Amino acid sequence: MITSQENKRNGSTKKEIRLASQPLLVDKAVEMLESFIGKLPWKTGEFDFIKLALIESFVNAAIHGNKQSPDKQVCLTMEMTEEHLIIMVADEGNGFVPRENQEMDLYSESGRGILLIRASMDEVSYHDGGRCIRMVKKLPH
């Protein structure tokens, strides 16, 4: 199931989409990102890092958060203010406690996604008991 809405107010634009917990639907999330901010004058490679953060967070929400349950959805919210792009990805799972000083284990089956997200975005925080990740990137000017 895919639902979408767009909202403009107070100098910001906000768009939300809800997708089934299927990792293959990440393409729909990337399409939304490209239509929302793809035409901005990003530095070389910067837009690709934002896409990487979105892909990792969506797949984490679908697989680890919602356990790919057909009854659960991933909610993706994008907001553009005058200065920042804010992306929030929320799942309906049990949440998790992020480790702040997580070291990368190249042989681990999981954990690298969070490190890639942190390296790609300017700010990363977790909310709602670890069910929502909020990522912020300063807009190019």
115 Cβ contact partners less than 8 Å away, ≥ 6 residues apart = 102, 104
Residue 10, pLDDT above cutoff 80? no
Average pLDDT over residues 68-72: 95
Full residue range of the structural domain in which residue 115 is found: 3-138
Closest by Cα among 70, 69, 111 to 94: 69
pLDDT for 137: 98
Total domains in the fold of the chain: 1
CATH number for the domain including 91?
A: 3.30.565.10
What residue spans of 1-141 are helical by DSSP H?
Answer: 26-37, 46-60, 112-120
Closest by Cα among 71, 87, 69 to 79: 87
Of the pLDDT bands very low, low, confident and very high (cuts 50, 70, 90), residue 28 is very high
Q: DSSP for 68-81, please give it.
A: T-TT-EEEEEEEE-
Residue 19, pLDDT above cutoff 80? yes
In angstroms, how far is the first alpha carbon of the chain from the final one? 36
